[in-house]
Amino acid sequence: MTHPLTKVGTLKDNELEDKIIDLSSRYWKTTNPEVQQQIMLILDDYRQELSARRAKQQVKEQNGENDLDNLINIS
């Protein structure tokens, strides 16, 4: 179940990383446990999405599917 405020599908990898860093610092700055809980839920969504993207990319690389291969057309 994802947090209703997360929009992970529309973010790029570097944007996800930036949001993770930003939310992590906000988590440690607040002393309100309810706010910390909500931040942790969003952080979990972002981390899972980033991990899934990296795993998908790694599988592509292992299977020899390199994006550069499509740029070279030898006919």
Quick check: 67 pLDDT over 60? no
Residues near 20 by beta carbon (within 8 Å), at least 6 away in sequence? 43, 46, 47, 50
Pairwise CA distance, residues 26 & 13, whole Å = 20
Helical H segments across the chain, by residue range: 13-29, 33-62
Tell me the pLDDT tens digit for each residue of 1-17: 677 777 778 889 999 99
Nearest to 54 by CA among 68, 5, 46, 6: 46
On whether the pTM is more than 0.85, the answer is no
